[in-house]
Amino acid sequence: MTPVRTRFAPSPTGYLHVGGIRTALFAYLLAKQNNGQFVLRLEDTDKKREVEGAGQHIMDSLRALGLEYNEGPDIGGPYAPYLQSERLPRYKEWAQKLIDSGRAYADPYTAAEVQAFREAAQKAKKPFLYRNHRPENPPEWDGSTPLRFKSDPKAYQWEDAVMGSLHAGAEAIDDFILMKSDGYPTYNFAHICDDADMKITHVIRGQEFIASTPNFLNLYEALELERPILATMPHILGPDGNKKLSKRDGAKDVLDYIRDGYLPAALVNFIASMGWNDGTEQEIFTIGELIDKFSLGKVQRAGARFDERRLLWMNGAFIRALSLDELFALCNDYWPPEAADYSQDYRRAVLALVQERLKYLAELPELTSFFFTDLPINPELINGHKQLKKLSTQELRNLLEQAQATLEASEFTVEDLQARLNDLLEKSGQKPAVLFSLVRIATTQAPSSPGLAESLAVLGKEVALRRIHAQLSSL
C-alpha cells in the first residue's frame, strides 16, 4: 500500500488567517490518521505577489498550532527543496518532457495580439480559447516567451473526495501557460510536477481550483501521471453566511489569536469545525480525537461559517477543562503589571476565581486587576445601576456603614463572609441585587467580578475595608 502523503502548499503572499489554515489542518489530520507524512511546500513562483516574511510566518503559524510537518522548506526531507523557486531546473525537465512529446509549444504572440484575439471572441460572443489560435509553426522555445500546454480538449467526469462526482465539457480545457517568460512556472504546472515528484497521494485545497481541474486532469494525462485523490474544501463564509470570509469579518491571523491567549487546541478544534463534524452532536474534540475521527467524506459541501463568538466560546471551554496548575503555567505573560508584587499563591487564588469566566488569556487584566490594585472610584457604577441609582446618598451611606461593621467582625473565610452577608441582608431588609451589588462595587470598582464572598476572601479584610472607606468618603 502506498503511504498517505498530503501537503499544504500555500503561496507566501500574505498572512494566514484562521480559515486559510483549514486545508493545512485537514491535510495534517489525514496524514496522521494513516501514519503518513504531511508536507509543507511553499509556492513562491509569483514573485510580484510575494510578501517578505510570509513564508516564515506560515511556518511559525503551523508550529504554533502544533501542526508539525514532516518535510518542509526549513527542515528538508527526501524530496527537497520544498521551496518552488529552488526547483526551477526540475520544472525545465518536466517542460522538456512535454516539448519532446509535442505537448508544449512556445507562445509567439505579444500581449497585444492575445488581447486582440480576446476582443474578437467577445465581439463574436464566443468564449475566448487560446487553443483556437495555436500557431502553425511555433518557434523553438528559448525561455524568452511563455511555454504553453498543447491541450487535448475533451469532457471529463471525476470524483472529488468531498464534492462527489464532478464533470466539465471540453470547453473547460485550454492551452494554458506552463512556464512564464520570467523563468518561473505557473501554479497550474508547478503543483502538478511537485505533487508527482513528492509522491503526494491527496491534494486538499480550496474551491477556487475546481474550474481549472479539467486542465489539470488533461496535464496529468499528457505527463502520464497517476492523478492523486482530489479533495475540494468548501469556502469559508463570513459570520452572516453570505459571502466569502475576509479580514473585515474579524478573521485574524493565527498568531494574533495565539498572542491573545487562545489555546492551540481550541483553535484547531474551531478550525476543524468549520465544514466538518463527525456526524454526532459532539463539538469539543481533542487533537487525538480529531485524528481518529476525521474523514474527507464528512466534510460538508456547502460553505462553512466563520463565527468568532463560537471560537470564543470554544476557547473558554478549553480553558475551563484545564487544571488550575496547567492554566496558571500558561498565564505568565498575561497578568496585569501590578500582579508582579503578589505571591504565586495569591495569583493562583485569583485565577481559581476567574477560570470559569476567562475566555482568552489576554482578558486576564480586565477580569482581575481589582485584585491587585485599588481602582479609582467610578461613580457610574452606582449611578448607572438599575436599583442603586434609586437610593439616596444617605441610604447608600447607611448600607455601606452596616457592611463595614459586618466585614470588620468577619474572619474573612468564604463561609463566614457568606453567613454574615446573609445576616445583614435579612437585617437590612434589602434585596441581594441592592446590598450585594453595593458591596461588590465598593470593594472592586469593577463592572463585574466573581462571587462576592469568594472575592472578598481573596482580597482580605484590610483591602476590603479600605475600599469601603474610600467609597464612603466619595459619597
Q: Where in 27-46 is the site for ligand GLU (CB under 6 A)?
A: 43
What is the size of the binding site for ligand GLU (CB under 6 A)?
7
Nearer to ligand GLU, 187 or 328 (CB): 187
Q: Which residues of 365-394 are buried (b: 16+ CB within 10 A; e: fewer)?
A: eebbbbbbeeeebeeebbeebeebeebeee
Asked whether position 9 contacts ligand GLU by CB under 6 A, the answer is: yes
Q: Quick check: 83 binds ligand GLU (CB under 6 A)?
A: no
Work out the end-to-end distance of the chain between its first and last CA atoms, rounded to an integer number of angstroms: 80
Compute the distance between CA of residue 259 and CA of residue 360 in angstroms, rounded to an integer.
10
Phi, psi of 285 (to 5 degrees): -125, 140
Tell me which stretch binds ligand GLU (CB under 6 A): 8-16, 327-335, 441-449, 465-473: 8-16
Among 32, 191, 347, 440, binds ligand GLU (CB under 6 A): 191
- Say whether residue 22 binds ligand GLU (CB under 6 A): no
Smallest distance from ligand GLU to CB 237, Å: 18
User: Looking at beta carbons, which pairs linking 307-313 to residues 24 or more positions away fall under 8 Å?
Assistant: 307/239, 308/239, 308/249, 308/250, 308/251, 310/270, 310/273, 311/18, 311/257, 311/262, 311/266, 311/267, 311/270, 312/359, 312/360, 313/359
Counting contacts by CB under 6 A, is residue 11 touching ligand GLU?
Answer: yes
Shortest reach from residue 125's CB to ligand GLU, in Å:
32
> Of 43 and 107, which CB lies nearer to ligand GLU in the complex structure?
43
Examine the residue annotation and report whether 247 is marked as an active-site residue of this protein: yes
3-class DSSP string for 223-241: CCCCCCEEEEECCEECCCC
Cβ 80 to ligand GLU shortest distance, Å: 18
Q: Where does this chain touch ligand GLU (CB under 6 A) — which range of 3-11, 252-260, 304-312, 369-377?
A: 3-11
DSSP 475: -
Phi (first) and psi of residue 389, to 5 degrees: -65, -15
Smallest gap from Cβ 232 to ligand GLU, in A, equals 10
Q: Which of 47, 126, 247, 298 is catalytic?
A: 247
Pairing of strands 229-233, 202-206: parallel
Q: Are 268 and 281 in contact (CB under 8 A)?
A: no
Q: Rule CB under 6 A: which of 110-169 touch ligand GLU?
A: none
Give the pairing of strands 37-40 and 5-8.
Answer: parallel
- 146 vs 140: CA distance, rounded Å: 11
Compare residues 198 and 314 and give the one whose CB is closer to ligand GLU.
198
Question: Which region among 5-13, 91-99, 303-311, 349-357 touches ligand GLU (by CB under 6 A)?
Answer: 5-13
- Footprint of ligand GLU on 203-242 (CB under 6 A): 205
Nearer to ligand GLU, 11 or 406 (CB): 11
Of positions 128, 187, 220, 342, contacts ligand GLU by CB under 6 A: 187
Taking the complex as a whole, the smallest distance from the CB of residue 248 to ligand GLU amounts, in Å, to 20
d(CA 39, CA 84): 13
Q: What's CA 355's distance to the chain center, in Å?
A: 23
| Cβ distance to ligand GLU smaller for residue 90 or 133 | 90
Shortest spacing between CB 204 and ligand GLU, in angstroms? 7
> Cis omega before residue 81 (within 30°)?
yes
Phi, psi of 186 (to 5 degrees): -80, 165
Stretch that binds ligand GLU, among 9-17, 265-273, 278-286, 325-333 (CB under 6 A): 9-17
What CA–CA distance (Å, rounded) separates 362 from 386?
30
Is the CB of 271 or the CB of 358 nearer to ligand GLU?
271
Number of neighbours of residue 44 by Cβ within 10 angstroms: 21
Q: Minimum distance from CB of 212 to ligand GLU (Å)?
A: 10
Closer of 191 and 293 to ligand GLU (Cβ): 191
Q: Which residues are catalytic?
A: 247
Interacting residue ranges for ligand GLU, rule: CB under 6 A: 9-11, 43, 187, 191, 205
